[in-house]
Amino acid sequence: MPADADRDAAAVRAAELRARILAADHAYYVLDRPVLADVEYDRLVRELAEIEAAHPELATSDSPTQRVSGAPSERFERVVHREPMLSLGNIQTDEELDEFDARVRRLLGLGEEVRVGYVAEPKLDGLAVELVYERGRFVQGSTRGDGVNGEDVTANLRTVGRTGANRGVPERLLGEVPPRVEVRGEVLLFKEHFEAMNRQILRAGGEPFANPRNAAAGSLRQLDWRVTSRRPLSFIAYEALVPGAEPGGARAAPGAWRTHTEKIEALGRFGFETNPANARCAGIAEVKAYRDRMAQGRFALPYDTDGVVVKVDDLDWRRRLGAASKFPRWAVAFKYPPQEEATRIRRIWASVGRTGILTPVVDFEPVRLSGAMVSRATLHNEDEMRRKDVLEGDWVLVRRAGEVIPEVVMPLKERRTGEERPFEFPAVCPVCGAKVVREEGEKVYRCTGAACPAQLVGRLTHFSQRRAMDVEGLGDKLAAGLVERGLVRDFADLYAVPFRAFQELFSRPRKEERDAKAELPEKSAQNMLDALERSKDTTLRRLLFALGIPQVGEATAATLARHFGDLARFMDATEDELLAVRDVGPETAREIRAWTAEPQNRRVVERLLAAGVRPAPEAIEARGPFAGKTVVLTGGLAAMSRDDAKAEVERRGGKVSGSVSRKTDLVVAGEDAGSKLEKAQSLGVKVVGEEEFLRMLEE
């Protein structure tokens, strides 16, 4: 090929690559919805870098190879970082690690015999942020954005670590601190918090997040800080800068920090959570050994990680090494290569989950991934399926996310024959035949049938939980047994299960005794019948919550119970009448009305009443110390749960708020009360302990 033609082809390909990379950056950093697998994104960036190296005249200042990925959203105020928040170059081989080490020693003029001290850290998979502290107080927080300009998410960052995730953003630093310090780190969701949050979302009838990184980024970049405050986010610090120090941040005061290790230790003294898995390595050989240990045990870590970050420890050397336009020369990220395989989709079908959500499931030709044969993956929802453009009959790239959960990465469009076809969601539930709906603004299709067998086990355990009908002893295993034996098809059937059936379900004879006559447990069976009988005397608030109506959590159930007073009025309420209820918006009103209008659901309610369930009206005593007051609960109470305390306050005419302001009338401070107590004291809001709170409840 002539030189001019070769250059023209390279220019066209470079333009194509830049467009795809920029679109992927926008989807990942701004929309929090990745459109490319990491391995595919890295391949495109490497190809572009190779073209620009071969044809320097094609390199542009705005190329993705020359700047930090991402851009700040226009929804937030813009923050200019005092020092750019650079990204890290990615490597994947031992040879590239050796090249990094050789380049460091060459630029520093060190001999072959010198072993550079490095700090190796797990590469956290979350959202990079910067926190600014002045005279020890937190004054501003921002996302990385494009590295120069970030998004002001100060209000949201103040809530990080306030929901049980004890790795938060300190409001005030501890000990002796510099007049101004800029702390950088990662906002992330630990695995246990991510799983608990998704379980809560599922119980409320919502759509779970696909992975912790997207959940963390989406949670932090909310316009309403109250949404963020309900998400169990954590913060881990890994860098600190001080005005007057050169890029790379060497000290809090002259001569204070000589190494990155000392800096991390100082961050711990200031009150930040740092990563205990960090390690100092003497030379690149120790870095490789650390990488191998982390690769082997990374799935046992409490957070997701996709690699290891390697940093020069000596801060003076860092300043001498400096940075290129996009990456610091003193750090690099070693990324674990994900295992991906190509296979062909056999079919796509709709699976009905416990909350009634229909999830598209992909069955494909079995492939071996991470030592296991895999033949199925979910696509989460219709939007995800359409975004990935996955069709029945497609060849696709699949992998196991975190080496555990199978996922479809992308379709291989170049292998399409024209016979592929899009999947369409059914109009009726494939399990029970009830109507399937996707309300405006929702991402998921949902079965509207309350007695749908696919949902029934999850619905029964929700119905029986303490804060609902309070049927003690009815958990997942017992509920599954009732459904498997055909004893329960809806909530009302629980009250007709015979004594003998409960005996058999509670009986667990050993294998060799199954054919012999075994004494069936009478006490457990009788306890269950007694618990069911006690549950019949309940309140309207508890019953409405127990029914699992979409959008109706405990707070909304209490509001509806107080507004309508009895079950019949609620069941017959029109959408306009529901909209008249405090805190019930158009979407919630539509969801509730769709549920109450479904004949299957109305029959279940009628059968519950016929079985003897007696929902008493919500009694409100609008007198006493809580009447008309706004109350905030903080810390743990020994005598009752937070939910019970909230219900007791509301039953006495009070309103429970999640945050302290000048409009707060009372703060109840239990054990380990945190920032809410401090704010109440600073605002002069009345504070009482648990003993005083219990006394007030008795008034």
Residues in the chain: 699
Q: Which of 123, 288, 335, 646 is catalytic?
A: 123
Annotate 242-294 with three-state secondary structure: CCCCCCCCCCCCCCCCCEHHHHHHHHHHHCCCCCCCCEEEECHHHHHHHHHHH
Annotate 450-509 with three-state secondary structure: CCCHHHHHHHHHHHHCCCCCCCCCCCHHHHHHHHHCCCCCCHHHHHHCCHHHHHHHHCCC
Q: Which amino acid is at 148?
A: V
Asked if 104 and 330 touch (Cβ cutoff 8 Å), the reply is yes
Q: Is 573 left (phi over 0), alpha (psi -120 to 50) or beta?
A: beta
C-alpha distance across the termini of the chain, in Å = 92
Asked if 172 and 138 touch (Cβ cutoff 8 Å), the reply is yes
d(CA 208, CA 201): 6
User: DSSP letters of 458-470?
Assistant: HHHHHHHSTTTT-
Q: Which amino acid is at 648?
A: E
Burial of residue 101 (CB within 10 Å: 0-12, 13-18, 19+) is: buried
Which residues are 414's β-sheet partners? none
- Residue reference for tokens 């800029």: 182
Asked if 412 and 396 touch (Cβ cutoff 8 Å), the reply is yes
Asked if 156 and 220 touch (Cβ cutoff 8 Å), the reply is yes
Task: Using DSSP, state whether 366 is helix, strand or coil.
Answer: strand
Which of 13, 8, 12, 40 is closest to 24 using CA atoms?
A: 40
CA dihedral 272, 278, 282, 288 (to 10 degrees): -150
Q: Which two tokens stand for residue 154?
A: 């100060």
Q: In angstroms, how far apart are the furthest CA atoms of the chain?
A: 94
d(CA 131, CA 127): 13
Judge whether 123 counts as a catalytic residue: yes
Return the active site residues: 123
